[in-house]
A and B are shown apart, each in its own frame.
Chain A
Amino acid sequence: MRNHEVSQGHNRVRLELGALSVAGLAVLAGWLGFPVAGWAEDATSAAAAVSYRDIPQLGGSRNIIWVIAQLHLLLAGFVLGVPIFAWLCEIVGWKTGEKRYDKLAKEFTKLLTSSYATTALFGGILLFLLIGFYPKLMTYLTDIFFPSFVAYCALFLLETATLYLYWYGWDAMLEGRAKVLHLFLGFLLNVFAFFIMVIPNSWATFQASPVVIAEGSSLARAWAATWNPTWWPVNIHRLIANVVLGGYICGAYAGVRYLSAKTAEEREHYDWMGYVGNFIGVFGLLPLPFAGYWLMREIYQYNQQMGITLMGGFLSWLFILQAMLIGVLFLGSNYYFWLGITHRIPGAETKYKKPIMAMLVILLLCLGVWMTPHSLVASLEEARKLGGTHHPLLGVFGVMSAKMTVANLMILVTFMSFIMYWRAGKDETATWAKLARAVMSGVLGVAAIVVIVLGVWGYFVPAIVRINYFSVAQVLIVLFVMLTITPLTALLLKSARTTTEMVWGRMPPRAGYALVLNAVMVILLMTLMGYARSSSRVHWHIYGVMRDSSQYAYSPALGYAAAFMSLNTFIFCMLVAFIFWVATMGDKAKAGGHGYPAMAGGSQELDRNQ
């Protein structure tokens, strides 16, 4: 009963604050909408002939769309990533019986209600702006995709109803078969969320890789346009990226709370939470480059010109920045694992110092190769001025064969960091432990050698052979390593004896900053690749079909774009911080100014009621 009252109080506070935040954002929408209304008056005379509208006083239509669309996409990624994260945690809690996982899942689900509304609000603003700024394009897309608009609305209704049941039914479905039903609701929530993601993906990917739309029923035309060559690669890439985003944002939240923790209990809790967030982030990060590679391959197959624009044209330097951000993300994630080994496991520092140093050196070397540009220029005139486009020594690292190799090696090293962390402080007592360790070492060593050999061999075969066979083989080898060593380690540790208990809450402050850095890197990467995807269409709204004839038909240079990426990242971080603050405000009040809030299962109130 008391728990129910507490829950009601929280809900009231949240609803009031949610209403305030919605009202605030509505004012923002009105502020943006006001000039549009004024402009629309001018446009009425032109009626349906209007192709573009603009608000130059607010920075121009393209920039406004850039900010709103990016924020909507990041929030959508968050809203779709958190249910996956929460559901995974709930399953772990259910299977292991550890209540803290269930609490963590519940409290992250709580965020969904407020962030869901904010995401929808930004989606609404984006839609109004698109209709206002690009009427001709939107008419064209509506004509093709109208049936999917209807499906999208229906899915939103289902998603909302499921979210209500999932969140409000949490406490009523804690045990037994009711819990299984709750888990099923979580599954449904993610299924609906997945389809809510893939439908807009079809609109965006159609713009990049349109297909010929034959005559037929509106449903058949919409389906034909939806099933375009880059639709599924983008779906899979975004699905995995959302898991990564959800995990690292959880980690960043834990990092901030850890830094400001006042008691040992708080430090222990947020240290553990940071570990879970980082783990899920890395779990998603490892297969993400494979999905990215598949997407890039499909782009090349769809249109060589678009692929060249991305990888060898004016966007080629973007991929150096991408390598830098991914490199920092890999380093940050590994660094957090290494800090965990040396600070949470007493006595482990000396034992793991050498392997950690070796892994650091490998990661830095790989990053150096990955960041080596292929060519420094894009035009013949510039090449003539420089007397060539390749560095005589380092140029050899600038090609895809080298980059694929080091990307796979970095994934292997990160995976081994995790395995090392998993096994630290435990004595493997199984009779076959020695054999298992030898097998694992052998698999890892052979895989690394084969990946390098294929990488070197890739220089001497036609590109088509390298792309179709060697690169795919490298990816499969790394996946094989993960799928072999993970279950083997799990079996090995099942009977292992813990020699040193893990001590939570002893991480240095830089661990908290590392978690924040990882989240910022993921968000920046999403903004960077959003710019790449949009710019790869060059001066086309719909590639090869509808040309952009507005004054904004050009793609800005990287420096200008990076300023927008940074701005969008900062605004998004502040929005997420605001959502977290709103969601935990009521809990802090209930905690009476001491202890830590219910966020992520830290509620003393909830603990007492378990």
Chain B
Amino acid sequence: MSEVVLLQLIGLGVIGVGVLILLFIKSRFPRVIGFVMIVLGTFSLVALSVPQMASLPPAEEKFDVASIKTANDMAVIGQKIFFSKGQCALCHSIGPSESARCPDLKGIGAKLSREFIYESLTQPQAYVYLDYRHEGPPKEYPARMPHINKNPIGLTNNEILSVIAFLQQMSGEPITVSPSEITADGKPAPVPAAVPPAKGKSKSKSVKKADAGLVAMVHGQ
């Protein structure tokens, strides 16, 4: 018997006792207790009828440096991190989705350089900081994207590189991350210097209004 079924039976039992009290006991206080039991039992049954999702702590992907031979090995691990510890899929989709709160990442590995993706993950506020999507002068634009290398998500440098490998592979691009970049301690490497994104976009405060949407999309808005 599953836990849900057991709890449903208990809930039904509580409601049943409450009904019996109301049917057969005339004294007021026990009747109120019976009424409360019916309310609480019903609440439990309703709570049991919605999707039962527990939140499990993310499994920590262990990097066995010796086992990583190819860039594809990194992409496989990166995919696991994308859907688990990295919590990327909580906001991003791969392909069109109505529920995605943040940009669709399909093909993102082809649109952006690995350095720019790295910067987007570790310094989400670095590139886009002005919002042009309104009348008047631009305002500061708080990126929704969290710092992925800091708590609470806190991916290590090895894990971030693996996610980049996955994003490139998923976009049909050659993986430019090399297994040789994996470090034994998994500590973040020095942050690469800001590099303009691929496809010729310049890093400047004076991002054109027409570009703002695309740039915002890059960093998670």
Contacts and interface: CB of A to CB of B under 8 A. Distances in A.
Interface in B143-180: 144, 146, 150-154
A389 B99 contact: yes
Most chain-B CB neighbours within 10 Å: which of A304, A324, A543, A561?
A304
A493 B154 CA distance: 62
Given A383-B99, A389-B97, A570 B55 contact: no
Interface stretch (A66-74, A313-321, A340-348, A494-502): A313-321
Contacts of B133: 462
Contacts of B204: none
A540 B39 contact: no
A544 B54 contact: no
Interface string B72-107: 000000000001000101110110011101000000
A317 B89 contact: no
A524 interface: yes
Nearest to B151: A544
B29 interface: yes
B152 A562 contact: no
Contact of B55 (A255, A325, A379, A538): A538
B57 A548 contact: yes
A197 B202 CA distance: 53
Interface stretch (B30-38, B62-70, B111-119, B189-197): B30-38
A251 to B, nearest CB: 13
B51 interface: yes
A377 B57 contact: no
B126 interface: no
Contact of A378 (B4, B90, B154): B90
Nearest to B99: A389
A570 B58 contact: no
B99 A377 contact: yes
Contact of B152 (A305, A524, A558, A566): A305
Interface in A159-209: none
A569 B33 CA distance: 12
A535 B55 contact: yes
B213 to A, nearest CB: 11
Contacts of B14: 566
Interface string A459-471: 0001011000000
Nearest to A321: B47
Interface residues of A, number: 63
B214 interface: no
A589 to B, nearest CB: 18
Most chain-A CB neighbours within 10 Å: which of B46, B54, B94?
B54
Nearest to A462: B133
A287 interface: no
B36 A520 contact: yes
A524 to B, nearest CB: 6
A524 B43 contact: yes
A388 B40 contact: no
A559 B153 contact: no
B26 to A, nearest CB: 11
B32 A259 contact: yes
Interface in A510-540: 513, 516-517, 520, 524, 535, 538-540
Contact of B48 (A375, A376, A562): A562
A555 interface: yes
A520 B98 contact: no
A274 B57 CA distance: 46
Contacts, number: 148
A320 B50 contact: yes
Interface string A548-569: 1000011111111111011001
Most chain-A CB neighbours within 10 Å: which of B10, B152, B153?
B152
B1 interface: no
A8 interface: no
Nearest to A535: B55
Contact of A304 (B3, B11, B40, B144): B144
B41 interface: yes
A308 B46 contact: no
Contacts of A465: 134
A390 interface: yes
Contacts of B152: 303, 305-306, 538, 540, 543-544
B37 A260 contact: no
Given A380-B89, A539-B58, A570 B37 contact: yes
Contacts of A577: 29
B52 A557 contact: yes
Interface in B1-16: 3-4, 7, 10-11, 14
A566 B41 contact: yes
A465 B139 CA distance: 12
Interface string A410-438: 00000000000000000000000000000
A388 B98 contact: yes
12 contacts: A315-B55, A325-B43, A380-B97, A390-B98, A535-B55, A538-B55, A539-B55, A562-B43, A563-B10, A566-B40, A566-B44, A570-B40
Interface of A: 255-256, 259-260, 303-306, 308-309, 312-315, 317, 320-321, 324-325, 375-380, 383, 388-390, 395, 462, 464-465, 513, 516-517, 520, 524, 535, 538-540, 543-545, 548, 553-563, 565-566, 569-570, 573, 577
Cβ-closest 7 pairs across A and B: A562-B47, A544-B151, A539-B57, A559-B48, A260-B28, A557-B52, A389-B99
Interface of B: 3-4, 7, 10-11, 14, 28-29, 31-32, 35-37, 39-41, 43-44, 46-48, 50-58, 83, 87, 89-91, 93-94, 97-99, 101, 133-134, 142, 144, 146, 150-154
